[in-house]
Amino acid sequence: MDEVFERYPEVDKVYVTSDGCKFFKEHYAQSHARSLEDKDVEVLNRTETSNEADEGDNPDLEARIALIQAMATIEEVQNALVGESNEMVLNAGQERIAALTENQE
């Protein structure tokens, strides 16, 4: 799991469902877990935190977009977008769903 924290240095917690899907927000993980036989969600904490982001950066936004871009299924993306209001994240989700749909054909 260290690779997640290395890739997203601004993230301090990751929620992992029993099928191995990773989420930065607990409610997304819980929502996804409802569709699984094993509904457990594991919380992983960073052992050391990093505050290296520039003042103008929005690491949470960047992390949400990056997470969506790395998702492997349409269902994961749809679950991650539940309750999302940021237009950039929503657009990233739509683009990822389109790419996944194209790969299924």
CA 23 – CA 102 distance, rounded (Å) = 24
pLDDT of residue 51: 40
Q: What are the tens digits of pLDDT across the range 59-75?
A: 688 888 989 999 999 99
User: Is pLDDT above 50 for 48?
Assistant: no
> According to DSSP H, which parts of 1-105 are helical?
2-7, 26-33, 59-70, 74-81, 87-104
**pLDDT > 90 in the chain, percent:** 32
Tokens describing residue 17: 């469902």
Please tell me which residue, 89 or 104, carries the higher pLDDT value: 89
Domain boundary assignment for the chain: 2-104
pLDDT of residue 74: 92
